[in-house]
Amino acid sequence: MAYLFTSESVSEGHPDKIADQISDALLDNFLAFDPDSKVACETLVTTGQVVLAGEVKSHTYLDVQQIARDVINRIGYTNGEYKFSGDSCGVISLIHEQSQEINQGVDRGAKEEQGAGDQGMMFGYATKETENYMPLALDISHKILQVLADLRREGKAISYLRPDAKAQVTIEYSDDNIPQRIDTIVVSTQHDEFGEDEVMLAKIKEDILSILIPRVKEQLPANIQLLFNDSITYHINPTGKFVIGGPHGDTGLTGRKIIVDTYGGKGAHGGGAFSGKDPSKVDRSAAYAARHAAKNLVAAGVADEILVQVSYAIGVVEPTSIFVDTYGTSKVALSDGAIAEKVAELFDMRPFAIEERLKLRNPIYLESAAYGHMGKEPKTVTKVFESPYNGRIEKEVELFTWEKLDALDQVKNAFNL
């Protein structure tokens, strides 16, 4: 029997995502001026206020208040009417030094003997249903909001948009897990007040259907465009007007959108958030490494769908376990347990090895803090960092290294593909 599956995404102006982006901007600045920084930064945003907290061990000093303001302004909170603006909000810093009791389990004389920064289990997932090996419902949800943000910044085709927004996509699958059609699309977008409620809502729905959705379709492959149909149920701002939003409408916290950040409910999640954490925290680095492994395995033809789990004990170098689930889609004559053994041989999951392989001790994280950490295109960019205490530096860095298909030959050789 056919079934439905749903994923959601949130915009860069959603309160939780504002918090994530501030935390990752702080992390990037610490790593830019001191690559050995140990950082765990948390952010809270609410009406007119930002609170920064967490633990840091670093040889650099930053103007954390200005970094937070710059992120808020870049997102688009520049208007006093929003009751939250980068130029006028209060920024309180409660950041303090990292506990030596945690640090002693991580830092070692030889870097390759670096212990895991925490216990826990992390998951990586990949599927063949999209070109970027991501779940389709989540991929479309991200694209809806990225295009909506583009329209907001252009300010031409739709001029009344504000930064806060959410999207959700429901897809019908066949018994053999093939997407058949899009069943439902939900879009809730913050907006200016520009008339009577019924007139506003009718205009917003018309613009979403006639301007936003066609632009989204244009960015999708032809086979995915075919899933759009005249019988899709659309819910556009279903609660009514959405003028009050952002941190004035809802408090935001770092790490509250872990499913949006990963696979939209497909696969699994170990519970650890990413943003604000340096790569010694395996919550982040091992989740990236597991995605890297899963993506290369699927792309190499080991299976159509793969979940990779890796787990750690705090301060211990080697993972405590590696697990693989191919959901019955394996193309090789091996059990999932045997595949997991080969994964352990192919991908060194020691914390320092992950950092080195994926070049994670670089300021590469702000770009991951909205619209998902997985599924984006790897690229090399030059980033500029300025500090009243450290001067100005430019760094060329690789973004989304965990998305590179750079292990295909090794995987194919190992599995005789």
Dump pLDDT digits (tens) for 324-381.
Answer: 999 999 999 999 999 999 999 999 999 999 999 999 999 999 999 999 999 999 999 9
Is 165 assigned to a binding site?
yes
Q: Which pLDDT does position 100 carry in this prediction? A: 60
Q: Is 385 annotated as a binding residue?
A: no
Positions of the chain with pLDDT under 50 = none
Residue 111 annotated as lining a ligand binding site: no
Q: Is 277 annotated as a binding residue?
A: yes
Q: What is the pLDDT of residue 398?
A: 98
Do residues 353 and 111 make contact, with C-beta atoms less than 8 angstroms apart?
A: no
Q: Which tokens in the block code for residue 198? A: 């019924």
Q: Please indicate if the annotation marks 256 as binding a ligand.
A: yes
- What are phi and psi for residue 72, nearest 5 degrees? -60, -45
Concatenate the DSSP letters of all residues of 172-228 into one string: EE-TTS-EEEEEEEEEEEEE---S-HHHHHHHHHHHIIIIIHHHHHHTS-HHHHTT-
d(C-alpha 27, C-alpha 378), whole Å? 20
Cα 34 to Cα 328: distance, rounded to the nearest angstrom: 46
Q: Phi then psi for 341, rounded to 5 degrees? A: -65, -40
Give the CATH number of domain 3-8+136-245; options: 3.30.300.10, 3.40.605.10, 3.20.20.120, 3.40.50.300.
3.30.300.10
Q: What is the pLDDT of residue 379?
A: 97
Q: How far is CA 39 from CA 8, 326, 361, in A?
A: 29, 35, 11
Quick check: 169 and 179 in contact, CB under 8 A? no
- Residues forming CATH 3.30.300.10 domain(s) in the chain: 3-8+136-245, 120-128+281-414
Nearest to 134 by CA among 343, 403, 367: 403
Annotated ligand binding at 14? The verdict is: yes
C-beta of residue 100 within 8 angstroms of C-beta of residue 109 = no
Contact yes or no for 123/308 (Cβ under 8 A): yes
What CATH architecture is 120-128+281-414? 2-Layer Sandwich (3.30)
- Tell me, rounded to whole angstroms, the distance of Cα 335 from its chain centroid: 31
Query: Binding residue per annotation — 266?
Result: no
Name the DSSP letter for residue 297. Answer: H
Interior CA angle at 185 toward 17 and 210, to 5°? 100
**347 annotated to a ligand binding site:** no
Cα–Cα distance for residue pair 373/364, rounded to 1 Å: 11
Residue 281 annotated in ligand binding: yes
Q: Which residues of 305-336 are buried (b: 16+ CB within 10 A; e: fewer)?
A: bbbbbbbbeebebebeebbbbbeeebebebeb
* 250 appears as a binding residue in the annotation: yes
Tell me the C-alpha distance between 213 and 77, whole Å.
25
> Helix axis angle, 336-346 relative to 282-300, nearest 10°?
110
Residue 69 annotated as binding site: no
Q: How do residues 238-281 score in pLDDT, each as one tens digit? A: 988 898 898 999 999 999 999 999 999 999 999 999 999 999 99
- Find, among 37, 152, 127, the residue nearest to 325 by Cα: 127
Nearest in space to 35 (alpha carbons), one of 278, 276, 314, 274 = 278
Are the CB atoms for 253 and 19 separated by under 8 Å?
yes
pLDDT given for residue 189 in this prediction: 97
Rounded to the nearest 10 degrees, the angle between the axes of helix 15-33 and helix 64-75 is: 130
* 273 labelled binding-site residue: yes
Residue 98 annotated in ligand binding:
yes
DSSP notation for 96-136: EEPPHHHHHHH--SSGGGPPBSS-EEEEEEEETTSTTSS-H
Measured between alpha carbons, how far is 309 from 271 in angstroms, rounded to an integer? Answer: 12
Query: What's residue 107's pLDDT?
Result: 59
Assess contact for 255 and 18: CB atoms under 8 A: no
* Cα–Cα distance for residue pair 17/21, rounded to 1 Å: 6
pLDDT of residue 106: 61
